[in-house]
Amino acid sequence: MTDEFMTKLNVTLVTAYRSILKIEDEFIKRAGTPNVTSSEMHLLETIGKTRGRGRTVKEIAADLRITQPSVTAAVNRLVQKGCVERRRSTEDGRVVYIHLTRLGHKTYAVFLRFHENMVRAVAKDLNDEEKTHLLKGMIRLNAFFEKQFMEEMTGTGPQNDLSTKE
């Protein structure tokens, strides 16, 4: 691979990542959501995907790949904002599920609409072959990130020595 390709790919990946975050934040602000951050919105998304079953803090943490204390703090903020509520399991009272409230469902729907619009806009000017190649490349990219994440979590990946060698 050429240095030019590597540079362009790196710039494109970084720019796309930053752009998605900025646009997502702006969309959330303009949509009239209850002062929810994009991180909190992703938490609402992982709960919303269950279609009413709810999620435990442990399940949310695993899905978002963050710590359980971080999820608990975010859930506490979302309870204060009226977007989620805690409910004890009817089968095992020790288990607590996090559910979306009516406001949480409304907020989640706004987030879904944003993502649907984004995907539609990206795909609209692509022909079928380009769509196939884009999807194939994105799947490979995700597989790479998944592998990197798992290696980082298990400590099995190559350790990058960022110190300068003298």
Which domains can be identified in the chain, with CATH numbers? 15-124 (1.10.10.10)
Residue 24 near residue 38, CB atoms below 8 Å: yes
- Closest C-alpha to 57, from 36, 47, 106: 47
Mean pLDDT of 63-88: 97
**Maximum mean pLDDT: which of 1-5, 56-60, 158-162:** 56-60
69 within 8 A of 49, measured Cβ to Cβ = no
Q: What are residue 100's phi and psi, to 5 degrees?
A: -75, 140
Report how far residue 40's alpha carbon sits from residue 161's, in angstroms, rounded to the nearest whole number: 34
Range in 11-20, 83-92, 94-103, 147-156 the model is least confident about? 147-156
Lowest mean pLDDT among 33-47, 62-76, 120-134, 149-163: 149-163
- Concatenate the DSSP letters of all residues of 125-141 into one string: T--HHHHHHHHHHHHHH
For 102-139, how does the pLDDT look when each residue is reduced to its tens digit (9 = 90+)?
Answer: 999 999 998 899 889 999 999 999 999 999 999 999 99
Average pLDDT rounded to a whole number, residues 61-88: 96
pLDDT higher than 80, residue 142:
yes
Q: Are 98 and 56 in contact (CB under 8 A)?
A: yes
Angstrom distance (rounded) from CA 114 to CA 117? 5
Please say whether the dihedral angle defined by the alpha carbons of residues 151, 155, 156 and 159, taken in this order, is positive or negative. Answer: positive
pLDDT at 106: 92
Classify residue 53 by its DSSP letter: S
160 pLDDT higher than 60 = no
DSSP at 161 = -
For 15-35, what is each residue's pLDDT tens digit?
999 998 888 888 888 877 778
Distance from C-alpha of 115 to C-alpha of 166, rounded to nearest angstrom: 48
d(CA 94, CA 90): 10
Closest listed residue to residue 145, CA positions, set 46, 2, 17, 11: 17
Report the pLDDT averaged over residues 49-58. Answer: 93
